[in-house]
Amino acid sequence: MSDFIPARSGPGSFGDGPDYLALPKDVTVFVPPDLTDDPLLRRIGPAWLGRIGDALAAYRDDEPARGIDLAGLSAAERRFLDELLGHGEVSALVLGDPAIRIEETIFTGLWRVRCEAGADVPACDRLEIGPIPAILTARAAAAAGMLDLPDAASLPELVVNAPHILAELIARSAAFAATGAGHMINLDLVPMANEDLAWLVGALGEGPVVVLSSGYGACRIRSTRLTATWWVQYFNASDALILNSLEIAAIPAVACAAADDIAESALRIRAVAALYP
């Protein structure tokens, strides 16, 4: 277990946070799958490239995410898609029943969504096209609710600013629900003792969604139990915390693909398709 929301990096940090996805250490170079030695792949490869390319090109940013079910893939098709899609800059873990792992592919806005078999649901494997898979924001929203707030009369002695931050977050969360207006609080600009941060972590609680983005530096995002409220933290190359913030949003923008990126992905995958006869 590693600190997820530390007050300070290094010896000054407090407590154990939830498990999170490890920060990437290597750079992945895309190599198109080799179809030359397998007649089956020569047949199915272009078909899959065309299907995915058409779905990316058809996406519009004012519509729900498009999905492609991969549950019935043959071993050859699964191998081909695993090689083709690779690993992009964003990955996520959604806790619950079923637990869901999400990875952006090397084609921005094209996501691989895998869920474990749960009590009432089968295992799943699918592609989804859109800014972020819908299940991620749905699970975060469903888990939010009333906070179990500590008694203000029994605050620890050194907890001074955290209750004021929490009051602002509650007001901003309500405003977001009514108007869609987002907000961000940079905790590095507020005098906050370790005790303040520990109290705030306990008051907000931990939601079921953990996101890791490496698109603009290493960024870890965690949902809380307060509606549309997320911890957003940036780390440097040494994994030291350099920005600690709370964001009011359906999902922080750093985790999302833009419409222009999705359109570019459609062009890229069609360029890959052009490599095959």
Chain-centre distance for alpha carbon 68:
20
* pLDDT recorded at residue 4: 46
* pLDDT recorded at residue 272: 86
Query: Are residues 183 and 226 in contact, defined by beta-carbon separation less than 8 angstroms?
Result: no
Three-class SS of residue 245? Answer: strand
* pLDDT recorded at residue 275: 78
Our CA dihedral for 12, 197, 202, 255, rounded to 10 degrees, sits at -100
DSSP state of 217: B
* pLDDT recorded at residue 117: 75
Residue type, 78: R
Domains and CATH numbers, the chain: 10-18+140-255 (3.30.1370.140), 39-131+258-273 (3.30.1370.140)
* pLDDT recorded at residue 12: 33
Q: Which residues of the chain have pLDDT under 70?
A: 1-42, 118-122, 150, 152-153, 216, 277
257 burial (CB, 10 Å; 0-12 / 13-18 / 19+) is: buried
pLDDT digits (tens, 9 = 90+) for 22-66: 555 555 555 656 655 666 666 777 888 899 999 999 998 877 777
pTM: 0.81
**Residue carrying the six token digits 């949003």:** 249
CA pair distance 240, 248, nearest whole angstrom = 24
